[in-house]
């Protein structure tokens, strides 16, 4: 069932990087009936509050972009919170969406749902074929459960759901807090700050050898709009660029872009590297007709500009 311009669309998590990008795109595309709630207005982990919200607002389409997210350090230190909070949010929203008669729901997961020692590039059928990466296992288990809940509600109750598994995301409205952010935004902050103060050396966590795939969040938003309108299968589908880069290569690219000329030192004992490689097979996505448009270098330039602007305003 495709989207209608008049659909009442609930964007759960609209203040986060992913949700805000989706909201901006749908607004620019002329969807007038967009429904949002801040966390203070609606705690998605509160089942009674979520039930009341769906009964009152009667959304027709739900985009589940709300989640507790963070980088490798946050995931390692708080696995219980990442598992518990995400399970609560997902269970409440998915169940109440089905119960209230929502016509279509889009669930957003993560490429971390796949096994640590996965063959590369990662195909959708590799899910649950091996142990997960220990550093973000709590979050991954929650996202697997969310996808399976959508799949089972589709098969048992006929609920129309789609589940998108994006690669590493970055871009507009990213988190630059070094305690919680992901690798690309962390590197942008570190190199901009180092360049601004003329640092002769910068120390980075890990070995720099893991390979990762990066996609600008605005491309994911475009994929959500496309798939909601075109895709009807509940099985998981990978969303990404299909190409990867080592963290060391990414660091050099960001350093060159910001004009940092100092030495880069890798602290291999600080934090584990995580999965050695994580690059997804995006054949199903491409076959569906969707293709990302924002290249990594262009996306990095945009992210650096946003960080510099927010830094100048003290808005970090």
Distance CA 228, CA 205 (A): 38
| Residue 112: closest CA among 263, 238, 26 | 238
Rounded to an integer, what distance in angstroms lies between the CA atom of residue 141 and that of residue 261? 41
Q: Are 264 and 202 in contact (CB under 8 A)?
A: yes
Pairwise CA distance, residues 80 & 270, whole Å: 22
Tokens matching residue 123? 């195909």
User: Given 56, 114, 126, 139, which residue is catalytic?
Assistant: 139
d(CA 162, CA 296) in angstroms, rounded, equals 26
Q: What is the Cβ-side half-sphere exposure of residue 148, based on CA atoms within 13 angstroms?
A: 10
Strand partners for 9: 34, 61
For residue 139, indicate whether it is catalytic. yes
Catalytic residues: 139
């Amino acid at each position: 069932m495709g989207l209608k311009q008049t659909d009442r669309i609930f964007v759960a998590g609209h203040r986060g990087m992913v949700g805000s990008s989706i909201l901006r795109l749908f607004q620019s595309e002329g969807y007038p009936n967009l429904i949002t709630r801040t966390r203070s207005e609606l705690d998605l982990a509160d089942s009674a509050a979520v039930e009341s919200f769906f009964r009152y607002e009667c959304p027709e389409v739900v985009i589940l972009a709300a989640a507790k997210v963070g980088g490798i350090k946050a995931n390692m230190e708080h696995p219980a919170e990442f598992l518990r909070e995400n399970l609560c949010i997902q269970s409440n929203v998915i169940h109440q969406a089905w119960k209230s008669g929502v016509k279509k729901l889009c669930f957003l997961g993560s490429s971390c749902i796949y096994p640590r020692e996965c063959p590369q590039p990662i195909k959708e059928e590799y899910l649950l074929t091996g142990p997960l990466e220990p550093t973000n296992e709590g979050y991954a288990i929650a996202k697997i459960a969310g996808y399976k809940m959508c799949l089972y509600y589709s098969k048992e109750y006929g609920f129309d759901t789609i589940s998108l598994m994006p690669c590493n995301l970055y871009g507009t409205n990213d988190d630059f807090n070094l305690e919680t952010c992901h690798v690309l935004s962390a590197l942008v902050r570190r190199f901009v700050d180092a360049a601004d103060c003329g640092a002769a050396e910068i120390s980075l966590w890990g070995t720099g050898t893991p390979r990762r795939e990066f996609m600008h969040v605005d491309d994911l938003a475009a994929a959500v709009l496309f798939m909601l309108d075109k895709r009807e299968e509940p099985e998981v589908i990978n969303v990404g660029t299909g190409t990867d880069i080592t963290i060391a290569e990414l660091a050099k690219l960001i350093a060159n872009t910001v004009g940092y000329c100092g030495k880069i030192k890798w602290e291999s004992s600080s934090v584990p590297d995580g999965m050695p490689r994580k690059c997804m097979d995006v054949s199903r996505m491409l076959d569906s007709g969707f293709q990302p448009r924002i290249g990594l270098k262009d996306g990095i330039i945009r992210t650096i500009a946003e960080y510099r602007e927010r830094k100048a305003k003290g808005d970090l």
